[in-house]
Amino acid sequence: MQTIQSFLYKNGLWLLLLTAFTSCTLAGLDMQENWDFKPHTADPHTNKTCWDFMLDRNQPGQDSIFDLMLKGIAYAGIDQSEYTKTSRTFILLHRDAILRLDNSGVVTNDCYFGRYLVPDRDAQGNPIPGVMRPARSWEEYPKATVKNFLLYLIIEGEHNFGSISVENDTVKTLLPLGADTANPESIMVMKVVNDRDSKMKLNDFLNSVRVTTVRTGGLLNTNGPAHVVDRVVEFGVKP
CATH number for 147: 2.30.180.10
H helices of the chain, in order, are 2-26, 50-56, 67-76, 95-98, 112-115, 143-152
Q: Are residues 19 and 55 in the same domain?
A: no
> What's the pTM?
0.81
In terms of pLDDT, which residue wins out, 9 or 148? Answer: 148
Q: What angle do CA 111, 114, 115 make, to 5 degrees?
A: 80
Average pLDDT (41-65) is: 88
HSE-up of 131 (CA within 13 Å, CB side)? 7
Looking at the fold, whether 158 and 192 belong to one and the same domain comes out as yes
Residue 172 binned pLDDT confidence (cut-offs 50, 70, 90): very high
Both 26 and 61 in a single domain? Answer: no
Domain count, the chain: 2
Q: With pLDDT > 90 as the criterion, what percentage of the chain qualifies?
A: 76
Neighbouring residues of 23: CB distance < 8 A, sequence distance ≥ 6: none
Range of the domain at 19: 2-36
**Residues 213, 144 share a domain:** yes
Measured between alpha carbons, how far is residue 11 from residues 14, 47, 53, 97, 172 in Å? 5, 61, 61, 58, 71
Residue of higher predicted confidence among 90 and 23: 90
Establish if 236 belongs to a structural domain: no
